[in-house]
Amino acid sequence: MKITKLLLYKVPPRWLFLKIETDEGISGWGEPVVEGRAETVKAAVNELSDYIIGRNPNDIEDIWQTLYRGGFYRGGPILMSAISGIEQALWDIKGKYYNIPVYEMLGGKARQKIKVYSWIGGDRPAEVAAAAKEKQEQGFQAIKMNASEEMNYIDSFSKVEAVIERVASIREALGKDFGIGVDFHGRIHKTMAKTLVKELEPYRPMFIEEPVLPENNEALREIAQHTTCPIATGERMYTRWGFKQLLQDGYVDIIQPDLSHTGGILEGKKIAAMAEAYDVSVAPHCPLGPMTLASSVHLDASTPNFIIQEQSLGIHYNQGMDILDYIHNPEVFAYEDGYVNIPDQPGLGIEINEEKVKQAAEAGHDWKNPIWRHEDGSIAEW
C-alpha cells in the first residue's frame, strides 16, 4: 500500500481537514491546524507531502521520525500541527487496513467509557451559573470556563472578585461534587495568578488551567505554593521533549496535550506514559473538530492515567458549523451522563461527510483570534 495524494480542506468555523489517499482505495482523515493560522499549517503540510507520497502509510513511526528529524529546525506549533494531522490520518488508514479501532493498536481499552466536560461562558464569561446548570441538566458532570477577561501584570482586585463571584455562583448552584475547570488561558500573569489561585481555593476547582503562559512555566513553582488546587497545562506544548522539564519540575497535576498540535496520537501516548511515571494525569485539550476529538478518545481509552476529555460541541467558537455537521455517524459522539462511548469502528471510527466538507471548503474561513488591549492601549494576552 502506498500513499498517493494529500487533500486539504479549510472549513468553518476555524478548522483544516486533511484526507490522505492510498493506491488501495483506503483513505484516512486528520486535522492539522493551528487556530488562527490555518493557511500557514496548510502550507507546511503541502511542503511535508514530498516526504510521504509513495510511502507505506502503515510505517507511522518511521514517517513521523522522517517528518520531525528530516528538518534541521524542529518543533513549534506550525510544524508539529502539520505532523499531527498527517499522523492522525495515518492511524485512521492503518485501523481501516487491519479492520480494528485505533485504541486496539495502542494496547486496548483501559476503561469502558470516556468522561467529558463542556464549555460555558465564552471569552468574556457571563451568566455562567445558568449556563452550567443547563449543562448539568444535559447530563454533564463538569464544565470549563475562562476565568477572566484581559488582566494586566498588576490589576484591580475588583477583577479578582469578579472571577471569584462567577466560580462561587456555579459552586452554590450545582453543589460540591460538580467539576469546575477554571481556564486562566495564559491571560493572567504570575503576580495576579498567585492571588487568584489562593482566592479560588475555597470553591474547589476541578483544576486551574494555564495559570501562566507555557514560556513562563518556571512560575508554576511559586504559584503551586499558594494553592492545593490541581494545576493543569500543556495545550501549547509540543512533543515529549516539550513536556520533559515540566514533568521533572513536579508542579503540575494534569497535562493537556492537544493531539492536533503536540505531534499526534502516538506522541500523545508517549507523553502520557511520561506523565504516568510522575503520577500526573492526562486531560487532552480539544476545542477542535471531529478528527481531533476522535483521536483524543482513542488515546483516552488506552491510557491508564487519563482523567477527563475536553470536547467542543456547542463551544462559542463554533459559529455556523459544529463537530457533528461533518460526520455521517454523529451517534459516535453521543454524550450520556457526562460520558461518551469508545468508538468500535475501524480506524478513528468516524465517517466523514466528504461532500459536506467540500461544500464548506468553498466558503472556507479566515478565523483569527481577537486582539485585546488594556486601558492604556498596550497589547493584552487573549
- Give the span between the Cα atoms of 49 and 284, in whole angstroms: 27
**CA separation (Å) from 294 to 22, 79, 242?**
21, 21, 23
Check 185, 189, 298, 365 and give the catalytic one: 185
- Give the span between the Cα atoms of 235 and 77, in whole angstroms: 10
Q: Are 7 and 21 in contact (CB under 8 A)?
A: yes
- Give the span between the Cα atoms of 155 and 222, in whole angstroms: 19
- Look up 316 and say whether it is catalytic: no
- Look up 261 and say whether it is catalytic: no
- Give the span between the Cα atoms of 147 and 206, in whole angstroms: 13
Q: Which three cell numbers stand for residue 18?
A: 486533511
Check 189, 285, 298, 365 and give the catalytic one: 285
Mapped onto helix, strand or coil, the DSSP state of residue 359 is helix
Amino acid at 174: L
The number of angstroms, rounded, from the C-alpha of 154 to the middle of its chain's C-alpha atoms is 29
- Which residue in 236, 225, 305 sits closest to 81, CA to CA? 236
By annotation, the residues acting in catalysis are 185, 285
